Every structure is written in C-alpha cells, then in structure tokens.
C-alpha cells in the first residue's frame, strides 16, 4: 500500500518466522518500504535543504509528574548521513603539513531521535615549504550535529505498566485530592403503603349446541346461565362466541338477554364471519355491550338467543366475562 508519511506514521507488517511468501504480499511490502523511504527523502530534501537549520530556545522544564512504568517501543530508523564539508584551499608549495584547523563549534542537539551525521569541517591550509613537520594544531571544536532523522515507525505498543503511586498533593494545585472513603449505608426507609386491590373478575363458557350433532338453528333460549353469588354486583364486560364447524354462508349472530330484567344486554350482537372464521374475536364487526343494561346480581337468569344460524355451523359456544 502507498506511504502516508509525513501526514501520519506508516504501519509496517513484521513477518513471522513461519510465514511463507504465499501468505504475505511480498512485493507489496517492498513497495511500501520504498515508498516510505522516498517520503523521508522528499521531506528532508537534498543536503537537508527542507529541514530548518536552527532550533528555538528550550522552554522551561515542566513539573515532574508521577512516575509510570511501561515498556518502550522499538527504536526509530537512523537519520540520513549529513553531507561532507567542502575541502579547504591548498597552501603554498611545501612538504611540511600546516597546523590542523580549529574544530567547529558543537551544534545544538536535535529533537528526540537518532540524528544524521554532521558535516565534516573544512581542511586547514598547507604550510610553507619546509622539510620539518610543523606542530600539530589544536583540535578544532566539534562540528555541528546533523539534523535529526525522521522518526521511524512506532513499534507495537507494549502492555501498560502498573500505575505509579499517587504523589502527595502539593500546595496550590488544580489536581483534586484522593476520594474519601464511602460513608456507611443509611437505614432502610419505611415500607410504603399497600396499593389498592384490583377489581375482581370472572368468566364463564356456555356450550350451546352439540359440536358433533346437527347444524345450529335460530331461536331464543338455546341455552341459559344463572349468575352465581361470586358474580353478584358485577357488570358484563366481554361477550364472544365460537364454533367447532364454520358457517359456509351467512353470519352466525347471537344476542344475550337478561330474562330477570327483560332486557337485551348487547347493543351490537355477537357475529362470527363465514368460513374459515370460527370465533367472534376476528369478526369484521365486533360486539358492543349496552353499558346501561350490563349489571347482574346473584340469581339473574341470562339467555342465549341465536338470531342467524348461518349454513352448516356446529358446536356453538358463548364466552362471557364479568367484572
């Protein structure tokens, strides 16, 4: 893949000892490495022409933070070797070497990393004609250190070392002190009041016709139900019907009558749609209870009336719910 340096550090694949050429993109790895080297040369330029030659003053040293322990990453790549300094002019005809020129001053240390080799200082002039060797000149100052080479790709991050102990909090600081220990648990609150009791409900299923007998027919009083004491004072809240054999045509229609009060309890009767429907739960028109005639008391006699029998329907059941 192409190099992303200098905008970001490249990530290189390190082959394992047991990797084969078939498992790795060998040519791609070479291309990636070559692209990375070209990016470094382009960034530094010829004779380091793209690298600044001066380093700003060092800022004040910040306060020492707590000491952590970690594992160092791999060293970066060595920086490029600096260019060789120009050769000094040749002195007058002589067989005696002149004194060695002074060594250049020591250059400022580059930023963290392995710097490139500094340039070679110029050669001193040749001494006058003589057969006697002149004294060796004093060693000149060390030449300036070359600019730091580009940082190599970061090694794999080592496991995080254990956290160093927290130092004591100094005077005037923005670092918060350690959290105090958790206080004891307070006493349990008082139990809240008991909620109101929900309404009592009851349900009953009435078998109106034989599921294995003849098809149902119309008529009042096909079945009866006497309200038990457990339902005293309740209201009729649900009313549905079901079949064991569906009607092939015509909607089976049922009314619930309170014989004791002489009233019909449904404002919209129970209907069961034609085959394949077997219950009123899926009816196109659901039943509606008349809420002015829905109350019952112990001993009320309820009657099941079949107003429409449909065709071939069998096994009529009526399901009533009270609350």
pLDDT tier at 252 (50, 70, 90 boundaries)? very high
pLDDT tier at 34 (50, 70, 90 boundaries)? confident
Per-residue pLDDT, averaged over 3-19, amounts to 76
Is 137 part of any domain?
no
Q: What is the pLDDT of residue 172?
A: 52
Q: What is the pLDDT of residue 238?
A: 98
Q: Which tens digits make up the pLDDT trace of 301-318?
A: 999 999 999 999 999 999
pLDDT of residue 111 exceeding 50, the answer is no
Is 232 part of any domain?
yes
Q: What is the pLDDT of residue 320?
A: 98
Tokens representing 222 are: 């096909």
Is 141 part of any domain?
no
Give φ, ψ of 239 to 5 degrees: -150, 120
pLDDT of residue 120 exceeding 50, the answer is no
Read off the CATH number of the domain in which 247 is found. Answer: 2.60.120
Least confident of 82-86, 178-182, 187-191, 251-255: 82-86
Tokens representing 296 are: 């019952």
Is 79 part of any domain?
no
Among residues 49, 68, 85, the one where a domain terminates is 49
Q: d(Cα 319, Cα 300) in Å, to the nearest integer? A: 17
Closest CA to 10 of 70, 77, 72: 77
Residues in Cβ contact with 56 at an 8 Å cutoff, skipping those fewer than 6 apart: none
Closest CA to 252 of 236, 241, 263, 266: 241
Q: Which tens digits make up the pLDDT trace of 260-304?
A: 999 999 999 999 999 999 999 999 999 999 999 999 999 999 999
Inter-residue contact 238 to 303 (CB < 8 Å): no
Per-residue pLDDT, averaged over 35-46, amounts to 79
Residues in Cβ contact with 273 at an 8 Å cutoff, skipping those fewer than 6 apart: 251, 282, 283, 284
Q: Looking up tokens 């600019």, which residue turns up? A: 147
Q: What is the pLDDT of residue 47?
A: 77
Number of domains into which the chain is organized: 2
Is 190 part of any domain?
no
Residues in Cβ contact with 208 at an 8 Å cutoff, skipping those fewer than 6 apart: 216, 222, 223, 304, 306, 316, 317, 318
Inter-residue contact 205 to 315 (CB < 8 Å): no
Q: What is the pLDDT of residue 109?
A: 39
Looking at per-residue pLDDT, the higher value among 286 and 89 belongs to: 286
Q: Which tens digits make up the pLDDT trace of 185-203?
A: 767 757 657 556 556 799 9
pLDDT tier at 178 (50, 70, 90 boundaries)? confident
Q: Which tens digits make up the pLDDT trace of 123-171?
A: 445 434 435 444 554 554 544 444 444 544 555 655 765 665 655 554 5
Closest CA to 83 of 151, 5, 143: 143
Least confident of 38-42, 105-109, 203-207, 240-244: 105-109
**Positive or negative CA dihedral for 227, 232, 237, 238?**
negative
Is 161 part of any domain?
no
Q: What is the pLDDT of residue 156?
A: 65
Per-residue pLDDT, averaged over 70-76, amounts to 38
Among residues 49, 70, 89, the one where a domain terminates is 49
Q: Which of 81-85, 117-121, 154-158, 265-269 has the highest mean pLDDT?
A: 265-269
Give φ, ψ of 35 to 5 degrees: -60, -40
Is 131 part of any domain?
no
Least confident of 54-58, 178-182, 244-248: 54-58
Q: What is the pLDDT of residue 11?
A: 78
Least confident of 48-62, 93-107, 162-176: 93-107
pLDDT of residue 53 exceeding 90, the answer is no
Per-residue pLDDT, averaged over 234-238, amounts to 98
Is 210 part of any domain?
yes
Domain hosting residue 34, numbered range: 1-49
Q: d(Cα 214, Cα 144) in Å, to the nearest integer? A: 117
Task: Quote the strand ranges of 7-133, DSSP E.
Answer: none
Residues in Cβ contact with 75 at an 8 Å cutoff, skipping those fewer than 6 apart: 114, 152
Among residues 28, 49, 70, the one where a domain terminates is 49
Q: What is the pLDDT of residue 96?
A: 47
Mean pLDDT of the chain: 73
């Amino acid at each position: 893949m192409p190099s992303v340096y200098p905008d970001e550090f490249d990530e290189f694949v390190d082959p394992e000892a047991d990797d084969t050429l078939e498992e790795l993109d060998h040519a791609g790895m070479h291309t990636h490495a070559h692209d990375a080297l070209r990016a470094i040369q382009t960034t530094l330029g010829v004779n380091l022409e793209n690298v600044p030659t001066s380093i700003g003053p060092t800022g004040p040293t910040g306060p020492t933070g707590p000491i952590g322990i970690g594992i160092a990453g791999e060293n970066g790549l060595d920086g490029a070797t600096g260019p060789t300094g120009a050769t000094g002019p040749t002195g007058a005809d002589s067989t005696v070497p002149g004194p060695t020129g002074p060594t250049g001053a020591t250059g400022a240390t580059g930023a963290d990393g392995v710097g490139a080799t500094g340039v070679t200082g110029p050669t001193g002039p040749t001494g006058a004609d003589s057969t006697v060797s002149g004294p060796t000149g004093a060693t000149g100052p060390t030449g300036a250190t070359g600019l730091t080479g580009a940082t190599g790709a970061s090694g794999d991050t080592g496991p995080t070392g254990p956290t160093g102990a927290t130092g004591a909090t100094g005077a005037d600081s923005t670092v918060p002190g350690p959290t105090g220990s958790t206080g004891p648990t307070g006493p349990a609150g008082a139990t809240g009041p008991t909620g109101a009791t929900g309404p009592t409900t009851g349900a009953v299923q009435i078998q109106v016709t034989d599921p294995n007998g003849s098809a149902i027919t119309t008529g009042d009083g096909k079945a009866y139900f006497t309200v038990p004491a457990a339902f005293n004072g309740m209201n009729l809240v649900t009313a549905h019907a079901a079949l064991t054999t569906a009607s092939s045509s015509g909607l089976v229609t049922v009314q619930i009558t309170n014989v004791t009060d002489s009233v019909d309890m449904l404002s919209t009767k129970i209907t069961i749609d034609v085959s394949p429907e077997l219950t009123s739960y899926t009816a196109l028109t659901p039943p509606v209870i008349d809420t002015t005639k829905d109350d019952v008391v112990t001993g009320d006699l309820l009657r099941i009336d079949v107003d429409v029998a449909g065709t071939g329907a069998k096994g009529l059941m009526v399901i009533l719910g009270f609350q």
